[in-house]
Amino acid sequence: MYTDTHCHLFKEYYQTIEKVIEDAIDSGVHKMIVAATNMENSKEVVSLAEKYPSVYFCLGIHPESVEEERTEFKSYVLSLKNHPKFVGIGEIGLDYYYGKELRNEQLLLFDEMLDLAEEVEKPVIIHSREATKDTIDILNRHRVKGILHCFSGSLETAQILINMGFFIGVGGVMTFKKAHIDEVINEIPLEKLVLETDAPYLTPEPYRKYQNEPKYIPVIAEYLANTKHIPITRVAEQIEKNVTEIFDI
């Protein structure tokens, strides 16, 4: 049994989310943590989790939505604090891939989201692209733990985050030959890793021509097992332990 710790099952991406969830369960993925990225899809993921027993949700405003109004968002999140399927704050973070013009705005938003996580006492799902130093600095100013999602950094960065209490989320990128992420992942203890698809993006090899779905988690698990030269049953067992250590599910 597997958990997809990070996917975006939004209506804008999938015609029939019900089928996506069924196919995931059929392939052994019994839990899916759906991460919102703005106010609109936050509401969507709450109703999805209320409809499907396998679905849990995280609420957050992604750095790409940095200009979004958030007073209403914050009170919405606080009103759901005790919702049984509300497991974390995310996807939140910093993204300087397209430039640093909005750096200050992104830092302010990220800081607000981390405050919110402390207030609701839940783990965080962090997106960090070309922003390692700022990410570590800001996380050091907050009392939060969680997952660094879609990890593609250096072993040194991974080590710093692990020492801060974070887990490293790995997905399809690990299977891309050009990425060379597997060499770094190989050095990270299994006890500090979790699996994620980031669906609908970043489908693992050899399925890259298809849209990504949580059903591909076992493909990523198998790749990880081969990289680490350990049995897949050991990967599945340890990763599920890690998931329950992070999330209250």
Q: Which residues contact 120 (CB under 8 A, 6 or more apart)?
A: 77, 78, 81, 86, 89
Q: Tokens standing for 220?
A: 């990523």
Least distance CB 179 / Ni ion (angstroms) = 17
Residue nearest Ni ion (C-beta atom): 198
Least distance CB 198 / Ni ion (angstroms) = 4
Is the separation of the CB atoms in 48 and 9 below 8 Å? yes
Cβ nearer to Ni ion, comparing 148 with 158:
148
Q: Which residues contact 2 (CB under 8 A, 6 or more apart)?
A: 28, 29, 30, 31, 195, 217, 218, 221, 236, 239, 240
Is the separation of the CB atoms in 223 and 204 below 8 Å? yes
Least distance CB 93 / Ni ion (angstroms) = 10
Which residues would be at the binding site for Ni ion (CB under 5 A)? 91, 198
Cβ nearer to Ni ion, comparing 5 with 242:
5
Residue with tokens 């606080």: 78
Cβ nearer to Ni ion, comparing 91 with 182:
91
Cβ nearer to Ni ion, comparing 4 with 198:
198
Q: Which residues contact 17 (CB under 8 A, 6 or more apart)?
A: 9, 11, 48
Least distance CB 36 / Ni ion (angstroms) = 10
Cβ nearer to Ni ion, comparing 198 with 213:
198
Q: Tokens standing for 110?
A: 């990220």
Least distance CB 214 / Ni ion (angstroms) = 13
Cβ nearer to Ni ion, comparing 161 with 228:
161
Least distance CB 35 / Ni ion (angstroms) = 6
Determine how β-strand 166-170 pairs with β-strand 86-95: unpaired
Is the separation of the CB atoms in 199 and 8 below 8 Å? yes
